[in-house]
Chain A
């Protein structure tokens, strides 16, 4: 950006794609002055979002979420374990976020992505802070057996706003989750009830009711990028790398702020910017709520 006159002279001759590669910030600023982005979106609009439930047939709950090109596949496997001594009537959730090399050219087999453990921890913190899942619902026999839910999220395509897509796929997978019916057999071991066995023992009635988890306050998030006075909602990977200041706001369905995450960045966030980001997130929350409800009702029809 230190070239004094060259951009002005070249811009009339240089191809648009070349200008985009050579002077990315000027390319974006030209668009921002017209309140639009290169892909035609207005500044406050997120990309098209879809959710497909039941993407992994062998898992107890799964979902494939796409925000624009960013694709996340979440799957939940359930396992019975003995609960810990200090919380004998609570189950456990283990969340892991993976970025395999398929998702992005910067991730290579020997070199795991730097952001993967960060997004993983952010997800665990957000899901526990929001109180979406009541761990007591995962308990089977107090002190002896409880469910352990392993939630694995795989990023299949990393094109910006990874946390948003990952959270959406996790929430969708939990809403799709069907806990298998189990019963306590004679040896005191929990066994999965299969269709052939009919009704086995005492535990049946208790577990048939708990087939689906009740999700209390579902968190929805929106990542925004701050650049000078502009706020761009739902950035692509290119936008995130050029304008490095990223703010992620997570709100739950009762409009409580679950998380406001701004990891540094050259632009300082003033109160007005924060309030604008929260307002954009509220709007986005309504859209996401609708998409999630449609996906859930689509599954119920089947």
Chain B
């Protein structure tokens, strides 16, 4: 059953994406990510010397500070901080700069649905801008499930609130490699099909969740190419800035 979306998009259609890097002067790395009306700005400072008390000094530590658009900092903000922190920890190469802390500050400019995926995408672009060593990039997407089992991607806030359930998923970005395809498979699936982070809200059947995974993978493959294209041309100008 087709569902008419308020903004006329099809089920698989994402909102217009915009990513700008190096927008803040003082931060070591910064990026803003816009998906439709949802906009998040992320600044990265680091690596700085020393780790916090309970953290392992043999590895680099990532600290995330989430600033909401308005209101006091409460439990949701702490949860977002933890999810972003653990997602970024899994993509950074932590052994390269041990006993250091990298601070990632996330500022929500506007929230119109798919806030956490937008923040993770922005944080990833900001880490690239700061030159933090990464294993691979992370691409995040949000899927919404209607009562009929119909899945739509990249919902707006109204769609998130009116639908039965939604799931946000983070996948590694797709690999462009010279090695033959078969050698990159893990357990029979290509590496970019693995889920880095997943969270759901609302109840859905297990099959619906697996369908969301399929749709999410297809969408993140497209987003990876957009991200790759976006990050590439600026490398030439970064080199001249470093010199």
Contact = CB atoms under 8 A, between A and B. Distances in A.
Given A257-B205, A257-B209, A269 B198 contact: yes
A269 B78 contact: no
Contacts of A207: none
Size class of the contact patch on chain B? 35 or more
Given A256-B205, A268-B172, A115 B198 contact: no
A155 to B, nearest CB: 16
Contact of A262 (B79, B85, B198, B210): B198
Contact of B78 (A117, A131, A264): A117
Interface stretch (B17-25, B147-155, B186-194, B235-243): B186-194
B88 interface: yes
Interface residues of A, number: 36
Given A268-B195, A270-B193, A271-B193, A114 B90 contact: no
Given A121-B75, A268-B195, A261 B89 contact: no
Given A260-B198, A261-B198, A118 B78 contact: yes
A229 B189 CA distance: 13
A161 B92 CA distance: 26
A130 B203 contact: yes
Interface in B148-170: 165, 167, 170
Interface in B166-184: 167, 170, 172
Contact of A270 (B82, B83, B186, B197): B186
A274 interface: yes
B191 A118 contact: no
B87 interface: yes
B225 interface: no
B202 to A, nearest CB: 5
Given A262-B197, A270-B189, A270-B193, A256 B204 contact: yes
Interface string B200-213: 11111110111001
Contact of B79 (A117, A131, A217, A269): A117
B215 interface: no
B205 A264 contact: no
A271 B216 CA distance: 13
Contacts of B198: 260-262, 269
A114 B78 contact: yes
Q: Which of A115, A255, A266 has the most CB of B within 10 A?
A: A266
Given A257-B209, A268-B172, A271-B210, A263 B87 contact: yes
A129 interface: yes
Interface string B52-78: 001000000000000000000011101
Nearest to A265: B90
Q: Which of B78, B85, B206 has the most CB of A within 10 A?
A: B206
A3 interface: no
B88 A264 contact: yes
Interface string B83-112: 101111110000000000000000000000
B27 interface: no
Nearest to A266: B90
B14 interface: no
A125 B167 CA distance: 13
A121 B79 contact: yes
Interface of A: 106, 114-115, 117-118, 120-122, 125, 129-131, 217, 229, 252, 255-266, 268-275, 278
Task: List 9 A-B pairs, minimum CB-CB distance, nearest first.
Answer: A268-B194, A264-B86, A264-B87, A117-B78, A117-B75, A121-B75, A269-B195, A263-B86, A256-B203
Given A121-B76, A255-B205, A262-B199, 18 more contacts: A117-B75, A120-B75, A121-B78, A125-B201, A129-B165, A130-B203, A260-B199, A260-B209, A263-B86, A263-B87, A263-B199, A264-B85, A264-B90, A264-B197, A266-B89, A268-B194, A270-B189, A271-B210
